[in-house]
Structure formats: C-alpha cells, structure tokens
Amino acid sequence: MMIKKSVQGVSAWMVAGMLGVASVGPVQAAGFGLPSLPSLGGGAAQAGSDVGSQVGAFLKSVQISNELVTRSAVLLLQAVSSKERGAELQKQLDTLGKISDPKEKDAESAKLVASVNAELATQQQSAQTQEGLKQASSAQKVAMGKGLFNLALGMLKLKDAKDSGQGIVAGVGRAPLDAPKVVPVKDALPVLSSLMDNGKAILDSGMALAKTAGIQPKLPTSSGTAPVDAEM
C-alpha cells in the first residue's frame, strides 16, 4: 500500500532529523544557531529593572521556543508523509533557517506551523495513513514519541514567553518612557498566540496518530523540563 511504503521510506532520514531536534537542551540550543534559552522570570517588570534587558531575554526565548515547536511539528508531518513530501518540508525548514530578521522568521514560522496543522489534520483522517501507522517500525515510534515530547515542551515554553511578554507590556503603564522599548514584544504576542493555537491542534493530531501506531508518549508538565535526547 502506498502509505506503508511512504512511511517506511521516510523513516531513516526522518528519525535522524527528529533525534537531532530531540537533543536540543538549554546548553545545546546553539545547534539551531540560537543562544541558550534565557530565564524570563515572568510577571510585570520590577521597579528599577532594565526593561531593555527583559525585552531582549523575551525575544531570545521566543526565537528558541518557536524553533523547537516548528521543527517538531514539521518532523511529525514528515513521519506520515511520502519521502518526496518530506523532502519538500525539509527545504521549507532550511529556507526558514536562513532568515536573519527575527520578526520575519517568527512570522514565517507561524505560517509554516499553520500549514502543518491543516495538512496533519488531513493525514489524521486518511485511511491509508491509519493503515500505514499500524505497521510503523520501532524507530518511527521512538521518533514520534520524542517529537511529541519536544513539541509539547515547546508549547509550554511559548506559554511562559507569552505570560512574560504580557507582564512586560503591562509594566510599561508605570513607566511610559519605556513604551518604545516594548514594541517588539507587542508585535510578537499575536504570533505567539497563533503558534500556540496551531501547535495545540498539531499535538492533538500527533497524539491520535501515535495511538494508531500503538504508542502513548509521556509529555512534559513543566517548561523547565529538558528536551529528550537521542538516547532511549
């Protein structure tokens, strides 16, 4: 059956890509070409605090969390797609990685995650996909489990970033002169909301597909959890 061949054909390179994402921890975030994930602290700015530093930490955290969510979402779709479609998705990720402007990159990440959400929902309803996943290899199951874990973790980190960003914006009410500094935060918040909405739907679809494949991955409950690595 076509989906069986497609799923099996994509498994080798898909697993390698998935485990690459799975190995990203706080120190290893440079693997995405990004700094380590900073501590956001959360809440409104404290009196005397440097709003500029808070904004910088917020934007770095958003960038890293977006990367984790986007790559995990794409790799989940690759797991149930043909080899050809998987290659197309990889090109999209490669193109995204070459964007240097953070604002543009975040916006393009949100668009890609939205398209992955729609496509994965279609795959979830596909009888061919369902049948193929019933015969998924052990390597595919491991990759799907780790991908879902990291996707869920990225979602938790995005929520932390959103809460922190809202706190930063709220704090400006007590320091109007800092208003221009928080414009990037205001711009990023709608993108975060879009990523979180689509990411949640992708996670739901991914968990349903994992169940079809005979696995029930454990998901993180804290944003402070380290991403799973390549080791079982």
Share the mean pLDDT of the chain.
80
At residue 10, the pLDDT reads 42
Q: Check whether 29 has a pLDDT greater than 60.
A: no
For residue 220, give the amino acid letter.
P
pLDDT digits (tens, 9 = 90+) for 150-159: 999 999 999 9
* Residue of higher predicted confidence among 121 and 8: 121
Sign of the Cα torsion 28, 29, 30, 32 reads positive
Domain ranges of the chain: 2-22+52-212
* Residue of higher predicted confidence among 24 and 158: 158
Q: Check whether 22 has a pLDDT greater than 80.
A: no
Whole-Å CA distances, 34 to 76, 108, 123: 22, 17, 32
pLDDT digits (tens, 9 = 90+) for 41-100: 444 444 445 899 999 999 999 988 999 999 999 988 888 888 899 899 999 999 999 999
**16 contacts: CB under 8 Å, gap ≥ 6:** none
Sign of the Cα torsion 212, 217, 221, 224 reads negative
At residue 228, the pLDDT reads 82
Q: Check whether 145 has a pLDDT greater than 80.
A: yes
Whole-Å CA distances, 3 to 118, 148, 177: 18, 21, 58
Q: Residue 49, SS3?
A: coil
Question: In the 8-state DSSP scheme, what is residue 40?
Answer: -
At residue 140, the pLDDT reads 83
